[in-house]
Amino acid sequence: QVHGIVRRSSSFNTGRIEHLYKNPQAHIEGNMKLHYGDLTDSTCLVKIINEVKPSEIYNLGAQSHVKISFDLAEYTADVDGVGTLRLLDAIKTCGLINSVKFYQASTSELFGKVQEIPQKETTPFYPRSPYGAAKLYAYWIVVNFREAYNLFAVNGILFNHESPRRGANFVTRKISRSVAKIHLGQLDCFSLGNLDAKRDWGHARDYVEAMWLMLQTDEPEDFVIATGEVHSVREFVEKSFKHIGKTIVWEGKNENEVGRCKETGKIHVTVNHKYYRPTEVDFLQGDSSKARQKLNWKPRVTFDELVREMVDADVELMRNNPNA
């Protein structure tokens, strides 16, 4: 049985979990029950945790967009940093320290300006955004509750994990959506920021399995979850277009660089400085040896399969609803 917290909004914001309803048309709940709540409201967190008395809590709630965290710095700190503390405090207030297992969605953004390659559990942190800094507080407050109160609490330091459910303004989904629209003739061109940022991209399906495995162990420990493979934003663009039968050729430099279709000569990709971050994270590559050894976990979905799945899903989506 799964309980979730949903923020109140004037429009339905359950699009990505519709299929989990017993009756999606009528929003009738089955094994998934939703409660109105917010990570900025400690009263409601105590109320929900006290009512549900969960055996496992997965804190995946965050303002999770790195670029936007520069614009919403205080809000990001409140939700991602203090929000985690509020949840941990609620567990304590409800007297569930000895019965609940707590998972904190930590992040590779903690490594930011990387101090070693690849990054593992012992790599020093150097966050490069208000998001990274807020998540750093959350990481250490989880460690503190684990050591101070003997709470079963773990940090999953997950590298970028993607899927067709990724938010529309994240770079991978922006690419797959735009490529789908270009394929269907609904769009000619789209803009990106730093094409040379390199990331260790995996599939959310694999990574969620790793989250669950962390809470099934005897002792609470923090784990890095990553594929160990690195690809650039540029490569993600090329592979996405390749899947719809287009070859992208790059021309120009820096902000004047464009991606042109070799077959038609049309420009499909441009660079816009507004999508750059004030402080950039250039390179992330994870070493998940500890998880492979102790959790017997390994990623199953390859980078190519991930790109194909995202593009296919968005082609289907845009075909049915061009304004999605």
Which amino acid would we find at residue 188? D
Residue 25 lies in a domain: yes
Distance CA 223, CA 302 (A): 21
Strands 101-107, 152-158: pairing is parallel
**Does any domain span residue 240?**
no
Provide the domain count of the chain. Answer: 1
Long-range contacts of 41-50 (CB under 8 A, 24+ apart): 41/86, 42/86, 42/89, 42/90, 45/5, 45/86, 45/87, 45/90, 46/90, 46/93, 46/94, 48/3, 48/5, 49/87, 49/90, 49/91, 49/94, 49/96, 50/93, 50/94
Q: Is 13 domain-assigned?
A: yes
Answer whether residue 100 shows pLDDT above 90: yes
Other CB atoms within a 10 A radius of the CB of residue 13 amount to 11
What pLDDT was estimated at residue 299? Answer: 97
Q: What is the pLDDT of residues 138-154, one digit of tens each?
A: 999 999 999 999 999 99
**Is the pTM above the cut of 0.85?**
yes
Per-residue pLDDT tens over the stretch 228-285: 999 999 999 999 999 999 999 999 998 899 999 999 999 999 999 999 999 989 999 9
Report yes or no on 61 lying in a domain.
Answer: no
| Residue 32 forms part of a structural domain | yes
Residue 23 pairs in a beta bridge with 28
Residue 65's identity, in one-letter code, is H
Residue 176 burial by Cβ neighbours in a 10 Å radius (0-12, 13-18, 19+)? buried
DSSP state of 18: G
Instruction: Return all residues near 92 (Cβ < 8 A) that are at least 6 apart.
Output: 145, 149, 151
Q: Which residue numbers are catalytic?
A: 107, 109, 131
DSSP string of 233-246? HHHHHHHHHHHTT-
pLDDT band at 12 (very low <50, low <70, confident <90, very high): confident
Structural domain containing residue 8? 1-36
Residue 123 lies in a domain: no
Question: pLDDT tens for residues 115-135?
Answer: 999 999 999 999 999 999 999
Cβ-contact 146, 220 below 8 angstroms: yes
Look at residue 11 and tell me if it is in a domain. yes
As a whole number of angstroms, the distance between CA 50 and CA 54 comes to 9
The answer to whether position 288 is within a domain reads no
